Amino acid sequence: MDIYELNRINFRSLLKALSYPGDEFKLWPVYDSFLLAAFATIVSPESTYYLEDQEKTKELAQILVNAQPVSLEKADYIFCNQFQPHLLLKAKTGTSLYPEQSATLFFCPPSDLSLPVCLKGPGILNQKHTNLPVSAEFIDLFLKQNQNFPLGLDVFLITKQGTVIGLPRTIYVEVR
């Protein structure tokens, strides 16, 4: 598959993930990286990003898309090949006039994280009991940054199996 085909298939997964939070959707890797796959679908030269990963991946990212790597505070899109909840604190949450000028974060949590949660909000019929590959600390930070809707952050979790889970700022997460 060429990169454009990968991009559009992967984008559908991101789209579904954000629309149906908590459900997992398959990603196809780009240069053996699921994080780069997400990167390639949405980052274009006009967007700014922050990438925490191996040097090799950072170079590939720059080759894939000639976009601008910037500081964490300024980035529209934040990609992290690990699970670093504290990044949520520095990411930009938008303004009331322009709430969309807020960051979207992509994390790659380890396989051993599995927190039982209850999800409520747009994308969920009534409520959903499921397990998310996150920590309780992450939930606290996520809810804190999203308490002043429409300001907030949107998060995608990319599992080691190469699936993606979406958490829009509208989702309410309760630890069970």
Partner 1 sequence: MKTFNFGFLDEDAKKEIRRSILKAIAIPGYLVAFASREMPVSRGWGTGGLQITLSIILEKDTLKVIDQGTDHSVNAVILRKFIQSCTNCKTTLHTDEATIIQTRHRIPEIPTNSDQILVFQVPIPDVLTIVEPSPSQRRILHAYNDYSKLWVLLYEDVATTGESRFSHRYPVVVNNRYVMDPSPIPRYDIPKLNLNPSLLLFGAGREKMIYAIPPYTPVKPLTFEDIPFKVENFPGQRCEKCGASNVFLDLVYINGEKHYFCNDPDFCQRNQQCSLK
Binders of partner 1 in range 141-170 (CB under 8 A)? 149-150, 152, 154, 168-170
Binder among 29, 69, 110, 122 for partner 1 (CB under 8 A)? 122
Label each residue of the chain as H, E or C. CCHHHHHHHHHHHHHHHHHCCCCCEECCCECCEHHHHHHHHHCCCCCEEEEECCHHHHHHHHHHCCCEECCCCCCCEEEECCCCCCHHHHCCECCCCCCCCECEEEECCCCCCCEEEEEECCCCCCCEEEEECCCHHHHHHHHHHCCCCCCCCEEEEECCCCEEEEECCCCEEEEC
Segment near partner 1 (CB under 8 A); pick from 27-35, 43-51, 80-88, 111-119: 43-51
Q: Which of residues 125-144 bind partner 1 (CB under 8 A)?
A: 125
The answer to whether 97 contacts partner 1 (rule: CB under 8 A) is yes
Binding flag, residue 43, partner 1 (CB under 8 A):
yes
Chain contacts with partner 1 (rule: CB under 8 A): 4-5, 7-9, 11-12, 14-15, 18-20, 41-47, 76, 96-97, 99-100, 102, 104, 122-125, 149-150, 152, 154, 168-170
